Each structure stands twice: as structure tokens, then as C-alpha cells.
Amino acid sequence: MHLATGFGAQPFLSTYRRTELLERFLALGTVKGLGLLACIFLSHILTWIGRPFGALLWDVRAARMLEGGTFGRLAEKRLLRRFRRNWIRRTPGEASLLATYLTQGESILLRQRFRAFGPGYAERMKLPRLPEDPLRLGDLVVLKRAIPETGEKGVLYLQYTPAIRTFISLFDHVKIGKEYRLVLEPSTWGYQDLEFLLLQGTGIDVVVQAQDHRDYTFMERLGGNLHPLRLGAGDWVDPRLFVPSSEKRYDFVFVASWDPLKRHDLLFRSLRVAGLLHAKLALIGYPSGGGTMARILRLAESEGLTQVVAREMIPRTEVAAMVAASRCGLMLSRREGANRGIYECLLSDVPVLLSSANRGVNREVVNEWTGRIVDDGDLPSALLDMHANSARYRPRAWAERHTGCFNARCHLSKFLRKRSAATGEPWTVDIAPIYSSPSARYLDAEDVVRFAPEYDRLASFLREPQHADARR
């Protein structure tokens, strides 16, 4: 099979193509330099008029969006320098970043909102949903009970980056820090974010899962009470659900929302260029960022693809079946935090193609056993190669040794045990096993009942709705 003649202009110039052009424009060095100057200017103006919190937000934006290269390093150094100078509390009563945030309208509204839900929701950081699934957990999960009598700390597991603001708004950080350790499962790429800075200096010992080496390195530089660990949301996929299948109905599977940032258009164009118009393609997604399944299918049709099967918001069991029935998985986003699709493919013994433009994925996961990292221009030839030779990879064998919820639990438990030893605390009880579905659930359903008293106890750690004193 031969390659067609390039990525020639197509009649379907959509949001997807415009998004691609915008990202390339923002990657230009001159644009990054101007962006840094603009952020510095706005930060200084806000500082001058007495709005230091707003100024910090512009410093955060600059460090996150301009990362990489000279301008990115300058922005990050500036953020850390100004944060340590202006926001790390040095004397009792001195205003800290957290104290300032707790007076903001967003933080006050979060406390009021969760209190309004009634008992059982705030302490779990759980939103009401009808009909209620008794096994569904909230964004805050108890992995281990605290034992105050012996000084053995409990372990709380916090999912999703935005939930950090909710957690710090709801719970008294001083009381929590005395009895619990916190484990974060961020949902974003780029940890140069306000959420992580809010936890700095709170007295809570925090373990931050950081699958991407850049985020891991930034957390190391931030230091303090935040400790990075090379794990991510994808590592908690259940290997009992995602299993290999000898029946292959699809050549390629793409698990991603319909958001233009997922770059379905790149895949469709590459299949056309590769001459794989009749390849069997499975798309699994959900509406996001203005993208819809109908729009995706029109885009595929405009490129001449003939065998596309799309499924939207299907149960996890159906996702697992479609992934296992495929020969190759794909991940093409330029920026992707907490991706689970790659790990689901590997555990299903399906090799993957990862875009070299990606920021956020742990690249060590894609190796000679599991797949390839490819430049956008080489994607057509890589698709051809996978179409013919996917059987030469052994992703499940690699995944069984390095990822999945059982390995992740061992890795996290070992790290927590070291943190306890470093602070002179006992460790006699291990953490409960959990898995991603895609939010965390207990592997043993009885743990929902077993930990119920601990969740009730957490209610005593909640702040009052109007309480904003963080100066202790």
C-alpha cells in the first residue's frame, strides 16, 4: 500500500483546523515573548493597585502556558520567586495565599454549596445524583483510617485538580494536617497552577502524583510539603476489566472526547494519506469543547473514510470490549492530563501510537514493548506499520509489571511508608485498594461500609460556611 500525496487542503476547514493553527501560532518564540511581557505587565499593575491575588494568577498563567524554552523558564522562575517572597507565611498572623483565597467569593460559595446538600456530601466532596449508586465515591476518598491514639496518620485520596480548591475551602487544614496525609490525583497537564500553590505551607503532608517528568520536576522545585511521585490517573486502571481478546474487529481505536483539541482531524487526514480509507476505525467519546459525534463523523466522511464506528458515553464494559477488539490505539492530543486511554489499551494487549507533540503523558509508558512515539508528519507511515505489524508488540506483558491498580497501590503504599518513617510516625495498616472507573472506587465493595465511620468523623474537620481564618 502506498502513501497518498500529502496533507493537501481539504474543503472541510473546521474548528479542528483552526485550533491547530492557533496552537502553532502560540508556539512561536516571538508570540511567547510578547505573552510573557503582557503577563508581567498585568501582574505589576494588579500588584500596584493592591490586588496581589490577581497578580499571582497572571504569574501562574505565564508559567503554565509559556513553559519550555527560554521564556518558559523565565516565567517559571519568576512565579516561584514572587510566590515565595509574597505568599509564604513567615510570622504568625501574616497573610498567606490560603488565607487570601478563603476570603474570595468562590471559596465562600463552595462552603455554602456543599453545606446545602445536607449530611454525607461535604465530607465526601460528593455531589448529589439520582438515582444514587451506593458504591459511588466522591472526589475525596478515605484510603486509610487515622489512629490518633498512636499518632498513625490516615490517608485521604483527592481526585481532579479543581477539587483541590474545594478541599481547601471545606476542610480545616490545620486539623487535617495533624491526622491525615493527602494524596493528589491531578487531572491536568502543567502543575504551574494555583491549586498546588494553595497547599504549600498548610502543614498537610501532600503526595502529588506526577506522571509527566516536567510536572514531577516542577513539584521538586516547588518543594515544601508537596512530594511528587511518578504515578498518574491511568495507572489505576483495573487489569481485570481491560483484558486481551483474540477477536479483532477494528484496526484502530481512538478513545477521546469530541473536543477539537483531541485532533481527530489529524488522524483522519493521516489515514487518507496512508491509503487506509477502508481501515476499520472505532471512536469512543463524549461531547466536549463544542465538539459533537455528528461533527466528528462529518469530518471522517469528508476525508473519505468508509468504515468508522462511533460510540458515545457507553459503559466501561463496552469500552473495554471495543478496545480489546482493536489492533492499535491512538493518543494525539498536544496537551493531555490524566489520560487513561493509553493504559486501557496496554492492559488489553493493544499497542499505541502517541503524538510526539504531546505534553502530559508519561513517555516511558510508550516503548519497544508497547508502541511508538511519532511526529505528526510521520503518522501516516506509522499507521501503515501498525496496520501490518501490531502483533510484534507485547503491551500486556509490560503493563502487568509496571502499571494497573495493583502495581499503583504497591508503589503508592511504599512511598507513603517512607514518608511516615521520615517524620517518625508509625505505619501498621496499609491503604485500601482502589481502581479507576474512571473515578476512584474501592476494589472491595465492603470498604464503603468499613470506612463509613471515618467519613462521618471527617465532618468534624469541616470549616463553618463563613469561616475564613487560615492564620493559625
This prediction has a pTM of 0.90
Mean pLDDT of 62-88: 84
Residue 457: per-residue pLDDT: 96
Give burial (CB, 10 Å; 0-12/13-18/19+) of 307: middle
For the ranges 100-109, 394-403, 460-469, the maximum mean pLDDT occurs at: 394-403
- pLDDT band for 27, please (50, 70, 90 cuts): low
Type of residue found at 317: T
| Contact indicator for 271, 303 with CB cutoff of 8 Å | yes
> How far is C-alpha 205 from the chain's CA centre?
20
Q: List pLDDT tens digits, range 156-209.
A: 999 999 999 999 999 999 999 999 999 999 998 889 999 999 999 888 999 999
Report the percentage of the chain scoring pLDDT > 70: 90
Give burial (CB, 10 Å; 0-12/13-18/19+) of 317: exposed
Q: Is 190 helix (H, G, I), strand (E, B) or coil?
A: coil
Give the separation between CA 457 and CA 115, rounded to whole angstroms. 16
Give the separation between CA 196 and CA 191, rounded to whole angstroms. 7
Report the percentage of the chain scoring pLDDT > 90: 70
Residue 3: per-residue pLDDT: 45
- pLDDT band for 369, please (50, 70, 90 cuts): very high
- pLDDT band for 58, please (50, 70, 90 cuts): confident
DSSP states along 291-349: B-HHHHHHHHHHTT---EEEEES--HHHHHHHHHTEEEEEE--SB-SS--HHHHHHHTT
Which residue in this structure is represented by grid cell 514518608? 419
Residue 25: per-residue pLDDT: 56
- pLDDT band for 7, please (50, 70, 90 cuts): very low
Output 208 or 6, whichever has higher pLDDT: 208
With residues binned 3-state (H G I as helix, E B as strand, rest as coil), the percentages for the chain, rounded to 5, are: 45, 15, 40
- pLDDT band for 24, please (50, 70, 90 cuts): low
Residue 274: per-residue pLDDT: 97
Top CATH class, 250-402: alpha beta
Cell representation of residue 356: 510526539
Alpha helices by DSSP H, listed for 49-87, are 52-65, 69-86
- pLDDT band for 249, please (50, 70, 90 cuts): very high
Q: List pLDDT tens digits, range 338-353.
A: 789 999 999 999 999 9
Mean pLDDT of 377-391: 97
- pLDDT band for 8, please (50, 70, 90 cuts): very low
- Where do the structural domains in the chain lie, given as residue ranges? 15-86, 97-236+404-461, 250-402
Dihedral of alpha carbons 130, 136, 139, 144, sign = positive
Residue 39: per-residue pLDDT: 83
Residue 242: per-residue pLDDT: 97
Q: Give the least confident one: 257-261, 344-348, 410-414.
A: 257-261
- pLDDT band for 65, please (50, 70, 90 cuts): confident
Q: List pLDDT tens digits, range 267-302.
A: 999 999 999 999 999 999 999 988 999 999 999 999
Residue 38: per-residue pLDDT: 84
C-alpha angle 418-424-427 in degrees, rounded to nearest 5? 55
Q: Is 225 helix (H, G, I), strand (E, B) or coil?
A: coil
Residue 35: per-residue pLDDT: 75
Which residue in this structure is represented by grid cell 489492533? 327
C-alpha torsion 315→318→319→324, nearest 10:
160
Q: List pLDDT tens digits, range 31-51.
A: 667 777 888 888 889 888 888
User: Phi/psi at 401 (nearest 5 deg)?
Assistant: -95, -20
On the question of pLDDT at 22 being above 60, the answer is no
Output 469 or 200, whichever has higher pLDDT: 200
Mean pLDDT of 240-265: 96
Average pLDDT over the chain reads: 89
